[in-house]
Amino acid sequence: MTVLRTTALVDAPPRAVSAALTERSLFGGTGVLAPGAEVRVLGARLRVAETTVSGLRLVPVGVVPVAVPVGAVPVPIALSVRLSATAGGVLVTCSATSRWARRRVLGVLETVVDRVRARAEALVGGSLVVGAAIRRGRTVLAQQRAYPATAAGRWELPGGRVEPGESDVDAVVRECAEELGVGVRVGAAVGPDVALSERKVLRIYRAELVDPLAEPHPHDHQALRWLTAGRLGQVDWLPADRVLVPALRRLLRANGQGAADG
């Protein structure tokens, strides 16, 4: 089994680089790359195990036959992309463990790194959508979309677009007041940024109700639900919000310590 590695320094903030990692386009598809999603790399089918602000980890779903001159052989592979902040930018390290031909593995790793760099640089300076992980006890608030038709019935965290001249925190406070009719205190960012389009990203912040007895109302949504860590996987999340589920679990399991994934 051979372990190969490629590195590159990307001149972009860590969150822009991590947002690039949550795009399926890095591996030849479309949409966001959420935990549980599958991709094909080097002829093998892989499932995303985790996406965080520090990197991406893919694990084998199963072994598939790959044609070689002497016939078909199984090619197990594990791929990871790790990010490290440095004074000169973000060091992207892409590594793979495989029995595949060395030259082909290196070619794929270089392609992934080049795509990460290009997408991260494109996201810098793009528009920002913020969301709130409003925690109450050991639960977090989710809301069910009423429109458009393509999203109706699916679940998301409260939030919306940051207006020109508005800070992230002010946008979270405003959106929660408009959508839920409640005041919130905003904490640290939770989980990775998620690319919504070529120049738009979603960023989630930890929040809590200013008035613990206040009851949010779904002004523009079908329903609200307080979810425990064990129930986060039981609702039909919008693709971008699904990326944040592991980070939300860690937030709820922090045992009241207020720790955020980051």
Pairing label, strands 184-197, 55-62? unpaired
Q: Are 74 and 162 members of one domain?
A: no
Q: Which amino acid is at 24?
A: R
Residue pair 187/260 in contact (Cβ under 8 Å)? The answer is yes
Q: What is the pLDDT of residue 255?
A: 52
Cis bond leading into 148, ω under 30°? Answer: yes
Please identify, among 123, 152, 172, the residue that sits at the C-terminal boundary of a domain: 123
Residue 156: closest CA among 145, 164, 165: 145
pLDDT in tens, 115-140: 999 999 999 989 999 999 999 999 99
Q: Does residue 254 carry a pLDDT above 70?
A: yes
- Mean pLDDT lowest for which of 69-73, 108-112, 153-157, 166-170? 69-73
Query: What is the domain extent for residue 168?
Result: 128-252
pLDDT in tens, 34-77: 888 888 777 677 888 888 888 888 776 654 433 333 344 445 67
Return mean pLDDT, the chain: 87
Q: Are 116 and 14 members of one domain?
A: yes
Q: Are 146 and 78 members of one domain?
A: no
From edge to edge, which strands make up the β-sheet containing 2-10?
Answer: 2-10, 89-98, 77-86, 55-62, 44-52, 38-41
Q: Are 54 and 145 members of one domain?
A: no
pLDDT in tens, 16-38: 999 999 988 888 788 899 888 88
Residue 211: closest CA among 132, 131, 134: 134
Cα–Cα separations (whole angstroms), residue 157 to 17, 134, 144, 174, 240: 22, 8, 9, 14, 10
Which contiguous run of DSSP H or E holds residue 156? Answer: strand 155-156
Please identify, among 64, 91, 123, the residue that sits at the C-terminal boundary of a domain: 123
Counted domains in the chain: 2
